[in-house]
Amino acid sequence: MTATTGRRLLLVHAHPDDESINNGATMARYAAEGAHVTLVTCTLGEGGEVIPPELAHLTADRDGTLGAYRIGELTEAMAALGVTDVRFLGGPGRYRDSGMMGVPDNDAPDCFWRADVDEAAGRLVAVVREVRPQVLVTYDEQGGYGHPDHIQAHRVATRAHELAADPAYRPELGPAWRIAKVYWNRVPRSVLERALAETAEKAPFPGVAEPADVPGVVDDELVTTALDGGAHAGRKAAAMAAHATQITVDPTGAFFALSNHLGQPLLATEYYQLVHGQAGPRLPEDDLFAGLDAGPDTAPADAPAATSEERVR
């Protein structure tokens, strides 16, 4: 999709599939509206489990080809969402999946959890200064649910947000750029509780997830932004289904399960907490770009970008 609005959205995620679960409707909506949507995924998710028995041979303890396979799944998912700018931090396979907290993979020297935050952030700064997004979406400091790669994705994205705006930091990566708004992925507790009750009633899975199984759940009042992706729910479901090693989507597209086979609601409205930048005029916001005048070269009022561009060059 060619960008036509001057709006540029950057999402930073840990593994292929996280983007579709958390932001699939958001990405499809902004891509359809002509925004430039950039996804940076930090690992190939090669440590994941595999749901379909016929693909079980891909896992790290057998063929060890899951990472390469998941690149294909991500490609298919992004085609479903209409997103064309997809990158792996440092290139595919630069950072290995660290596995869940406490497993031996956490200690592998090439895993993302062991990566130097500043070094990894430098790679992301290069993307930020090239793309110049007005909006960044990532996880909270717990990574939403405590997975080491999600925590590290938060740290790297947060550090890159700071460094990209500093004209003194590595000018060879491009002119400084201050991202106007930073959001964390959220799910309001009341929304989740209602949706889980419906899941228990209707979803065709052997069990139902607990609120603790769902990343980013917070008290409703912390949520600043509700992005109605209802028109793109089918695209989100298709993108999630493309991650077939990781996700089972029910035939209605209203529910899904991960490898634990516990049903979860497939939310077409996606929720966010604004953690940096000015909120739009009305809360809750219904647009991540609310309050920004996102012309092609628009920088936010507090940004040094235009002047630093001259200084740096």
Chain residues binding Zn ion by CB under 5 A are: 14-15, 18
- Indicate the residue among 14 and 89 with the shorter CB distance to Zn ion: 14
- Indicate the residue among 47 and 122 with the shorter CB distance to Zn ion: 47
Q: How far is the CB of 15 from Zn ion (least distance, A)?
A: 4
- Indicate the residue among 21 and 237 with the shorter CB distance to Zn ion: 21
Tell me the C-alpha distance between 265 and 188, whole Å. Answer: 13
Residue nearest Zn ion, CB atom distance = 15
Kindly list the distances between the CA atom of residue 292 and the CA atoms of 33, 194, 229, in Å, as whole numbers in the listed order: 16, 33, 20
Q: How far is the CB of 158 from Zn ion (least distance, A)?
A: 17
Q: How far is the CB of 10 from Zn ion (least distance, A)?
A: 17
Q: Provide the token pair at 155.
A: 């740290």
Q: How many C-beta atoms lie closer than 10 Å to residue 19's C-beta?
A: 29
- Indicate the residue among 76 and 220 with the shorter CB distance to Zn ion: 76
Inter-residue contact 246 to 285 (CB < 8 Å) = no
Q: How far is the CB of 12 from Zn ion (least distance, A)?
A: 12
Please tell me what DSSP assigns to residue 92. T
15 closest CA partner among 95, 120, 76, 124: 95
Q: How far is the CB of 105 from Zn ion (least distance, A)?
A: 14
The partner residues of 263 in beta bridges, in order of sequence, read: 208, 257
